[in-house]
A and B are shown apart, each in its own frame.
Chain A
């Protein structure tokens, strides 16, 4: 099977900077791979093994996203692409989905496309289903396991609250994957070293044939008007003092049902 995975490089620090247009300053933020994208990558690896397939990984973002792509190479991706360009910047989820879908379509066709359920910085959960819509394929969310039945059919278990639905799905299909549903493979020193040396192709704006008014800032249908940090509020309390005092206070908090 020919498999594509979309991976986002996200800030991990609480001290993120926001520019005057309420956009995250991604170049300076402490960052790492969006956690559930690694779960998506893990399912891709399982399918690759089952079907002797290949995995291409796409990430749209600035150069620091190369770190995530190198990690994916070290884990077992065959090829990775950085999608990067000024005209892609400042877009909303639809603009992002359009660019990703176009790049995937240009290198496709793919049998399965994986994305994480949502990004830890944006948290909309929209990009995966939008890509499926643009590429006219079905999408399955909340995936908890995946198995290839033959080269055109997958059996996917999907979580529906109290239980799992078992679906037989014809490819091509887009699958979104929640955090924690599997244990992502780790890179090793050996594979990471090899990946660090890899040349990663960049797909820039000249290579993505899309109307400029549909992507980036001009194409955005939604804009972020304000950004505020989620306040820990009155429930947060720093525990200070000796070990005994801290332990006693923790005990009280547990008693009060606050911890």
Chain B
């Protein structure tokens, strides 16, 4: 059987999930190049929340959310720990009627899929769920006990393990340094090991590196970096003596990290035209920890003081900075590009953990069978060219 030779560049959650989905086709011959370690880029700094309802990904794409959630649940069931699931539940706070409407629709969708969910207006009950919350500043809250957060790095490594078991090849610690084209067709990659390998299809899964990767084929990949600054708080009482649910407000979110609380400004509240929020930077220069701006401390402190006063005087244990890869409309870029045989599977911004399973399932079908899907049509590269 003639096999299709496919190169995947990047072994974050997008590359690893794509590698797994492609490895389910017996006529795919896959090589994944990861210049560092699997799941060590943006994925490693992710909060990993995949909640049944919140405003991070519009309800229009609720099936994408559900598919991601259930993929990881099954992964976790198959081998406990392999998706790093922490079932804390989620509390989504309605700050105004618009948000309230979105939450209520999300609850209906969750229930339709057989999960629990309720919209609570009894403030005492909300406070029972999260004692440090200021319930006066919200109309109500959506709550489910069924979801929580996952570990993106664990998931990436589980996908990597599965794709290898299916016969795919992973080149760890190998960087793609050159992509050769002939007459506008991508033909081969050259690596940091000095190898040159021909491929039928080359897929960019390099997330925030995609501008650099795109340059290798002369493609301007329209993504911005938004600063994802996460802070780890030690609550004043030092230990959380209750299950801290994933807490979502439109402008920020929080979740438990051991005995600490992880907080971050939400990706949809980032303004691509504000240099404090967004720009073009070099992800290779990101420090492992630290590197955060005073701006985000100010912002998050104000949010805590107003909404979660019980956490405003928490100790600040550590912080990290990462770059989300965001296209203008905060949705990923999937599929073909003007360079023939060169595909994009990038720009997952603040939702890559949620979106990777459905996005890469469809990408694999497109690459292997040439069949598109509604999702791929909506998230195609061409939408951004037309916009520009």
Q: In the complex, which residue of chain B has the Cβ closest to the Cβ of A245?
A: B161
Asked if A243 contacts B161 (CB within 8 A), the reply is yes
B139 within 8 A of A: no
A-B contact number at CB 8 A: 51
Contact pick for B315, options A30, A32, A186, A243, CB 8 Å: A186
What residues of A have a CB within 8 angstroms of the CB of B288 in the complex? 13, 30
Contact pick for B233, options A13, A189, A196, A240, CB 8 Å: A189
Q: Assign chain B's interface to a size class.
A: 20 to 34
A193 within 8 A of B: yes
Q: How far is the CA of A193 from the CA of B299 in the complex (A)?
A: 10
A188 within 8 A of B: yes
Q: Shortest beta-carbon distance, A42 to chain B, in Å?
A: 13
B251 within 8 A of A: no
B314 within 8 A of A: yes
Known interface pairs A188-B315, A189-B233. Does A242 touch B161 (Cβ–Cβ under 8 Å)? Answer: yes
What residues of B have a CB within 8 angstroms of the CB of A187 in the complex? 315-316
What residues of A have a CB within 8 angstroms of the CB of B297 in the complex? 189, 192-193, 196
Asked if B287 contacts A30 (CB within 8 A), the reply is yes
B290 within 8 A of A: yes
Asked if A30 contacts B290 (CB within 8 A), the reply is yes
What residues of B have a CB within 8 angstroms of the CB of A188 in the complex? 312-316
Number of chain A residues whose Cβ lies closer than 8 Å to a Cβ of chain B: 17
Q: In the complex, which residue of chain A has the Cβ closest to the Cβ of B319?
A: A192
B234 within 8 A of A: yes
Known interface pairs A186-B234, A240-B172, A243-B161. Does A192 touch B290 (Cβ–Cβ under 8 Å)? Answer: no
What residues of B have a CB within 8 angstroms of the CB of A242 in the complex? 161, 164
Mark contacts of A61-86 with chain B using CB atoms, 8 A cut-off: 1 yes-contact digit, 0 otherwise: 00000000000001000000000000
What residues of B have a CB within 8 angstroms of the CB of A243 in the complex? 157, 161
Mark contacts of B276-302 with chain A using CB atoms, 8 A cut-off: 1 yes-contact digit, 0 otherwise: 000000000001111100100110110
Q: How far is the CA of A32 from the CA of B291 in the complex (A)?
A: 10
A258 within 8 A of B: no
Q: How far is the CA of A190 from the CA of B306 in the complex (A)?
A: 13
Q: How far is the CA of A30 from the CA of B234 in the complex (A)?
A: 24
What residues of B have a CB within 8 angstroms of the CB of A13 in the complex? 287-288
Residues 200-229 (chain A) with a chain B CB within 8 angstroms: none
What residues of B have a CB within 8 angstroms of the CB of A185 in the complex? 315
Residues 165-179 (chain B) with a chain A CB within 8 angstroms: 172
Asked if B234 contacts A189 (CB within 8 A), the reply is no
Q: Shortest beta-carbon distance, B55 to chain A, in Å?
A: 24
Q: How far is the CA of A165 from the CA of B40 in the complex (A)?
A: 47
B264 within 8 A of A: no
Q: How far is the CA of A242 from the CA of B159 in the complex (A)?
A: 11
Q: Which of B172, B289, B301, B305: most chain A CB closer than 10 A?
A: B301
Q: In the complex, which residue of chain A has the Cβ closest to the Cβ of B233?
A: A189
Asked if B301 contacts A189 (CB within 8 A), the reply is yes
Q: Shortest beta-carbon distance, A39 to chain B, in Å?
A: 16
Asked if A189 contacts B287 (CB within 8 A), the reply is no
Q: How far is the CA of A192 from the CA of B291 in the complex (A)?
A: 15
Q: In the complex, which residue of chain B has the Cβ closest to the Cβ of A196?
A: B294
Contact pick for A189, options B157, B164, B312, CB 8 Å: B312
What residues of B have a CB within 8 angstroms of the CB of A192 in the complex? 297, 316
B72 within 8 A of A: no
Q: Shortest beta-carbon distance, A258 to chain B, in Å?
A: 22
B317 within 8 A of A: yes
Q: How far is the CA of A192 from the CA of B231 in the complex (A)?
A: 12
Mark contacts of A115-134 with chain B using CB atoms, 8 A cut-off: 1 yes-contact digit, 0 otherwise: 00000000000000000000
Q: How far is the CA of A187 from the CA of B234 in the complex (A)?
A: 10
Q: How far is the CA of A111 from the CA of B234 in the complex (A)?
A: 33
Q: How far is the CA of A30 from the CA of B304 in the complex (A)?
A: 28
Known interface pairs A186-B315, A188-B316, A192-B316. Does A32 touch B290 (Cβ–Cβ under 8 Å)? Answer: yes
Q: Which of B164, B291, B316, B317: most chain A CB closer than 10 A?
A: B316
Asked if A186 contacts B313 (CB within 8 A), the reply is no
Q: Shortest beta-carbon distance, B271 to chain A, in Å?
A: 21
Known interface pairs A13-B288, A30-B287, A32-B290. Does A190 touch B313 (Cβ–Cβ under 8 Å)? Answer: yes
Q: List 28 A-B contacts (CB under 8 A).
A: A12-B289, A30-B287, A30-B288, A30-B290, A74-B316, A185-B315, A186-B234, A186-B315, A187-B316, A188-B315, A188-B316, A189-B233, A189-B297, A189-B304, A189-B312, A189-B313, A189-B314, A190-B301, A190-B305, A192-B297, A193-B294, A193-B298, A196-B297, A196-B298, A240-B172, A242-B161, A243-B157, A243-B161
Q: Closest 7 CB pairs between A and B?
A: A186-B315, A189-B301, A196-B294, A30-B287, A187-B316, A193-B301, A188-B313
